[in-house]
Structure 1
Amino acid sequence: MELENLTKRYPGSPDPAVDSVNMEINAGELVVFVGPSGCGKSTTLKMINRLIEPTGGRIRIGGEDVTHMDPVKLRRKIGYAIQASGLFPHMTVAQNIALVPRMVGWPKARITSRVEEMLDLVGLDPGEFHGRYPRQLSGGQQQRVGVARALAADPPVLLMDEPFGAVDPITRDHLQDELIRLQHELHKTIVFVTHDFDEAIKLGDRIAVLRERSHIAQFDTPEAILTNPADDFVSGFVGAGAALKRLNLSRVRDVEITDYPTVTVDDPLQEIFNRLRSSGTNEILLLDRRGRPYKWLRRGDLMRAKGSLARAGTLVHDTVTRDATLRDALEAVLIDNAGRVVVTGRRGEYTGVVDMETLMNSVHELLEADRLDAMEHQHELEETRAEQTHHEQEGTAGAGGEAKA
């Protein structure tokens, strides 16, 4: 995708809302626009699918200039997900997802199959959610359906305008992880707008930090922006604790995930007790009938169970997926008194555990890498300055010799 001198002027305003944006976005890349409120990031996004008509400039997608094509046809080729999902309340989940495929003339059988495929893709059971209405869904479930609808017609480009901004922090983390997983599977070209720099670091292959009128302050990888911000404006977005922010660049799948002794709610109490005794640990993880983490059980809990696990143990309150960042995992571990967090799969099933020691080792490795990078950068600066001083001295000596001659 190419944006060439993309500009938007509104009548009566002396300055453009968006001023000559030039940008190239690679196929399969997730690019995040981040900047202060009112800087023009959402306006720039909406010009790509012509929800807002550009005043000037060009938009090319796959080499094709789409600036003057029928905007309705253009939008059917571009997925669009917004804050609070934007689902039609009078339509079922299935009808919402089927909307664009039906408009572009897909046969009914293909649409039905695609709806089930999309629900499964975003981690919702087709049998359970197919006939529900948006009001019967949680905020997180609505956002998942919104993403499924945006992807239903298999568009090459997906635009996302602060899609997770209206949900609670825990749900937001899980939705971000889901988007990362989806992108690994689908390799769409995604342009994502947010005002949250931590979200930008977590999601973006590259980040465009925008000033007023969508002027690009820096357009680079998260690592480059964290370690070498272009100026004070970008540094203000990075803020304090850049090394800790880098925890958003590493995933749970990048560290050691250990197995843990588990039992299920259908196992007899004596078998659970025997499993705990033979495990060599002080606790065991109880899974529900779908293999999802349910409770942590300690020896004392089993002694007091008296034939029933209904009131025994401690509920598992927080989990992370393999696509969660190390920062997410560290926060979950710090909240948990026992210093570990359960890792789950796409349907919430148990896959392993990450503990505090593993995470702290990773933090120390990141800090050491940052320290070495800083030393190398400082060394390069000193060499550059020394070289400049040497050239200046040679120039002064040469000028002196010419003057003397």
Structure 2
Amino acid sequence: MADSQRAVTGATIELDDLTKRYPGSRQPAVDSVNMEIAAGETVILVGPSGCGKSTTLRMINRLIEPSSGRIRIDGEDVTDIDPVRLRRRIGYAIQSSGLFPHMTVAENIAQVPKMTGWPKARIKERVEEMLDLVGLDPREFHARYPRQLSGGQQQRVGVARALAADPPVLLMDEPFGAVDPITRDHLQDELIRLQHELHKTIVFVTHDFDEAIKLGDRIAVLREQSHIAQFDTPEAILTNPSDDFVSGFVGAGAALKRLNLTRVRDVGIEDVPTVTMDDPLQEIFNKLRERGGNELLLLDRQRRPYKWLRRGDLMRAKGSLARAGTLVSHHVTRDATLRDALEAVLTDSAGRVPVTGRRGEYVGVVDMETLLNSVHELLEADRMAALEHRHDLEESRAHQTQEQLESGFAGGDQP
């Protein structure tokens, strides 16, 4: 289904002069924040440590009570309603996942639907649906406890729990900050895929500008007290930062950071010959001969990329594929950025990387040539945009000069 045809299930959020003052502090922690967030939009709050971004986020679901100002969700002023009832309508995911250690995965996910009075049959169905949505097999993970999960799996369950009651708004406070870089990339891709399907309204806090570029429809760059330095699209902030503070936060290599704006699904994904663990060796030989290539991709029994097989590997297989071929060391999802894909391809001697779906199943391959062509297109677009911007500035200066001259003549200053 095309994006334009997908139903938006998010809600609008309006922050009106939202302020937080703590007793004994001379200055407010958050000072008069005004922001409008569209339904179905992902907005990233990014800024230096201590700038008030997490405080701003937590005031939206009133985990921190505002000192003054208003919060409206879909036009409804939620500042004065019961905060517990409000929180049941807003998903919330945090860095440590926040799972209850004494509850199973299923019990954790079922918490909010249970508290809001859902029937047992509906809760059970929803738990399985949520596990499948975040890429975890319900049969395998339903009865596990958080201690039996990896950090990445815990975060997936945390997101599933936050979405279980189908809230229109999802608040995320540095949810991927405590996991390793590879797992973090995969979780970011998972969130992009989920948002591509669900179209919730997401407000996401991070201190990592690369993460902000990768995930956000718009980014709010915050100074101290959550004063907004710039609130715009990633492209606009990268190409036209509003001032030196924003430029410093963007950092060096803005052109390369733009690689985080394009997804693998937006470029050419090629297909390569594949075989499975259960295929007889003779059939594998025949397929390689028919395709006329020198390489096959071996898939495991879940159709996930497993090994690259070359003709010589098959000659040495001696009736078994157990020791033949080269293990697939990297893969990317369709929602991975070009930067992720380029890093993966650069580590591969053959210059290609498998692309996988939700459960890690094989989708295709993206190669170095495709990625470099996309990089060249981005750089050319940047060059043309810079030339156009320079031309607009020159025209503006010429216009101002002409106006000054005409103003001087009108005042009788001509010789």
TM-score scaled by length of structure 2: 0.96
The residue identity in structure 2 corresponding to 1:300 is G
The answer for the alignment partner of 1:29 in structure 2 is 41
- Unpaired segments of 5 or more residues in structure 1? none
Q: 1:45 aligns with which of 52, 57, 64?
A: 57
The answer for the alignment partner of 2:110 in structure 1 is 98
Q: Is 2:18 aligned against 1:6?
A: yes
Q: 1:326 aligns with which of 331, 338, 356?
A: 338
Q: Is 2:56 aligned against 1:77?
A: no
The residue identity in structure 2 corresponding to 1:130 is H
The answer for the alignment partner of 2:10 in structure 1 is none
Q: Is 2:384 aligned against 1:360?
A: no
Q: Is 2:225 aligned against 1:219?
A: no
Q: 2:244 aligns with which of 232, 235, 242?
A: 232
After superposition, give the CA deviation of every residue in 1:256-285 in whole Å (9 maximum; x if it has no partner): 111000000001112112222222222110
After superposition, give the CA deviation of every residue in 1:167-222 in whole Å (9 maximum; x if it has no partner): 11111111111111111111101000001101100110000000011000000000
Task: Give the RMSD, CA atoms, in angstroms.
Answer: 1.0
After superposition, give the CA deviation of every residue in 1:117-172 in whole Å (9 maximum; x if it has no partner): 11111111111110000111111111110000000001010000001111111111
Matches within 5 A, 1:55-66: 55-66=67-78
The answer for the alignment partner of 2:166 in structure 1 is 154
The answer for the alignment partner of 1:176 in structure 2 is 188
The answer for the alignment partner of 1:387 in structure 2 is 399
The answer for the alignment partner of 1:280 in structure 2 is 292
How far did 1:306 drift?
Answer: 1.4
Q: Report the Cα distance in structure 2 between the residues aligned to 1:165 and 1:282, rounded to whole angstroms.
A: 42
How far did 1:401 drift?
Answer: 5.4
Q: 1:339 aligns with which of 330, 344, 351?
A: 351
After superposition, give the CA deviation of every residue in 1:76-112 in whole Å (9 maximum; x if it has no partner): 0000000021100000000000000000111101101
Q: Is 2:154 aligned against 1:139?
A: no
Q: 2:328 aligns with which of 316, 340, 345?
A: 316
The answer for the alignment partner of 1:112 in structure 2 is 124
Q: Is 2:271 aligned against 1:259?
A: yes
Q: Report the Cα distance in structure 2 between the residues aligned to 1:184 and 1:323, rounded to whole angstroms.
A: 9
Q: Report the Cα distance in structure 1 between the residues aligned to 2:48 and 2:344, rounded to whole angstroms.
A: 29
Q: Is 2:104 aligned against 1:89?
A: no
Identity %: 83
Q: Secondary structure at the match of 1:323?
A: coil
The residue identity in structure 1 corresponding to 2:245 is F
How far did 1:395 drift?
Answer: 1.0
Q: Report the Cα distance in structure 2 between the residues aligned to 1:216 and 1:239, rounded to whole angstroms.
A: 18
Q: Report the Cα distance in structure 2 between the residues aligned to 1:264 and 1:222, rounded to whole angstroms.
A: 42
Q: Report the Cα distance in structure 2 between the residues aligned to 1:3 and 1:270, rounded to whole angstroms.
A: 66
Q: Report the Cα distance in structure 1 between the residues aligned to 2:348 and 2:245, rounded to whole angstroms.
A: 37
Q: Secondary structure at the match of 1:131?
A: coil
- Unpaired segments of 5 or more residues in structure 2? 1-12
Task: Report how many aligned residue pairs link the two structures.
Answer: 403
Q: Report the Cα distance in structure 2 between the residues aligned to 1:105 and 1:80, rounded to whole angstroms.
A: 19
Q: Secondary structure at the match of 1:300?
A: helix
- Aligned structure 1 segments of 4 or more residues deviating by more than 6 angstroms: none
The residue identity in structure 2 corresponding to 1:40 is G
How far did 1:369 drift?
Answer: 0.2
Q: Report the Cα distance in structure 2 between the residues aligned to 1:312 and 1:195, rounded to whole angstroms.
A: 44
Q: Secondary structure at the match of 1:22?
A: strand
